[in-house]
Chains A and B, each alone.
Chain A
Amino acid sequence: MTRLFVGLSVGVAALFVLSLLVGPASIAPVDSLAGLFGGGEGPVAMVMREIRLPRAILAAMIGASLGLAGAAMQGYLRNPLAEPGLIGVSGSAALGAVLAIQTGLSAAFALALPLMALAGALGGVLLVLALAGPRGGALVLILAGIAISAMAGALTQLVLNLSQNPFAVNEIVFWMMGSLADRSMTHLWLALPFTLLGWVLLASLGRGLDALTLGEDAAQAMGIDLPRLRLVLILGTACVVGAGTAVAGAIGFVGLVVPHLLRPLVGAQPSRLLPASALGGAAMLLAADLAVRVILPERDLKLGVLTALVGAPLFLHLIYKTRKEMV
């Protein structure tokens, strides 16, 4: 168990350093690190501090968020197919961003896009809380999430449908594919407080999620306050997913595949899966963000496209394995 956590941590650290050393500006590794730590003012220091460092930190941070939220959501719903987008927050955050692009706000003011996306996420979470009620069970939450996702998706389509500005449509379509290119430290400072709050909330759920292995009735009789657990889960997921979507767009499959992959390695215990999945998510997104820079450096391959391209076959493999075990 300890070996798994050490291995994952080393992997994340290595990928993080690698992420700092790879980019369109070909800078020798030694120069990169000198630029990063050497306090100089030259172009190398600029590239390192303003472009590569925020990009690497955001990849690790958002990856960890998606892994953690995915593990928590699967633990709560006791279903390996659950993922963080299920409660509709990523969809409503995307709608906020799309409105920012369409109305031209994002062109007028750089931070309008992430701020509008955060507002969208907030709207989504308020709606899901109102719909799912304070005492409703897991099923009501899923239904509310599906309804909100569908509504946000339809409104996004409507914006694209009615848009008379081909440039905005183009930008919206590309933004929705998810990317970490050209994000600044400001994006990081905007997402960081929500993300940290969300991590604290989600990390507190381990005990309750473990008890839920025995079902809702047994967990409640063991002293777990289920309405409170659900509230913390929704708020925590909304914080991390809202912040992540606001700065990087929609990135799928990480929150679904990473907990699934790591579950057998932690003895399937939800409380242990939380930190493992956070580390695994960070590693996966750092690797994916490296890959988009290495595979097609000229073509701006989008991060969300790559995670789906890699994630879907990985998931098919998991289905194949599960099917073999069931016989």
Chain B
Amino acid sequence: MTLLSLRDLSVTLRDRPVFSGVTLDIEPGELVGLIGPNGAGKTTLMRAALGLLPHEGQSCLAELDPGARARAVAWMPQMREIAWPVTVEALVTLGRTPHRARALSQADRAAVTRALDWMDLSDMRNRTATRLSGGEQARVLIARALAQDTPLLLADEPVSGLDPAHQIATMRTFGQVARSGRAVLVSLHDLGLAARHCSRLILLGQGRVVADGPPGQVLTPELVAQVFGITAFSAATEHGHVFQPLEVLE
């Protein structure tokens, strides 16, 4: 069963084409990294796929009614907004909004507890979310999206601002979520993390999808030079695929 299916998706904002002709499918089990330089349209692509932006072409998610969509996909925006000083647990419980009746069910509580455990937040559940550090808040918001417990998770730069241990732990959590028969699409700027943890990368640049495939096929010297304008060390090692940007091309 395909969890995300885009057909010829195009977005034009204020008469400026952001990207056009994006066609892709995401299947259960995949952890897909969406990469590309600043302004390539990563956020726009995800928001259009969700139906939050006017677009041309088709997205299977945008066609669902809002309630059904909220049970099919969870969305973690790049803007980390926590408006009120609520507890971590209350914030993560918001992820249950599309599922819950008035009172929380056993399944709701279980999903919240699991999400808190995944993001290493169980000890913080009673702390006030707005008083946490930026990285801790990011983890709380990832936990909120995980608590929504949907077949597909879309996260916009979820690991930026996290310390290395929590970056790795978060990517591993996404991997676990994918292996449990779901799928995750994350936009990333850290190509090293993308190379190491994602099962597939989608490279967005110059208004289209430049490459789509396993990390080794996408992060080639030619493509990296063409889209990002950098040189890099990229190799399959005994520790998995290692990618390290080196220099800016003149």
Contacts and interface: CB of A to CB of B under 8 A. Distances in A.
Interface string B81-93: 1111111001100
B79 A267 contact: no
Contact of A210 (B47, B70, B85, B97): B97
B169 interface: no
A300 interface: no
A217 B84 contact: no
A222 B87 CA distance: 19
B50 interface: yes
Contacts of A78: 83-84
Given A207-B97, A211-B94, A214-B144, A221 B86 contact: no
Interface residues of A, number: 22
Contacts of A218: 75-77, 81
Interface string A256-300: 000000011001111000000000000000000000000000000
B85 A215 contact: no
Interface of B: 47, 50, 52, 66-67, 69-71, 73-77, 79, 81-87, 90-91, 94-95, 97-98, 141, 144, 148
Contacts of B82: 213-214
A264 B131 CA distance: 14
A210 B85 CA distance: 12
Contacts, number: 73
A221 B84 contact: no
Is chain A's interface secondary structure helix, strand, loop, or mixed overall? helix
B141 A214 contact: yes
Given A222-B148, A268-B85, A213 B98 contact: no
A270 B84 CA distance: 8
Contacts of A215: 77, 79, 81, 83
Contact of A221 (B73, B81, B87): B73
29 contacts: A78-B83, A207-B97, A211-B94, A213-B81, A213-B86, A214-B81, A214-B82, A214-B91, A215-B77, A215-B81, A217-B52, A217-B75, A217-B79, A218-B75, A220-B52, A221-B52, A221-B73, A221-B74, A222-B148, A223-B66, A223-B71, A223-B97, A223-B98, A224-B97, A267-B87, A268-B85, A269-B84, A269-B86, A269-B90
Nearest to A217: B77
A269 B141 CA distance: 16
B97 A220 contact: no
Interface string A114-139: 00000000000000000000000000
Interface string A224-263: 1100000000000000000000000000000000000001
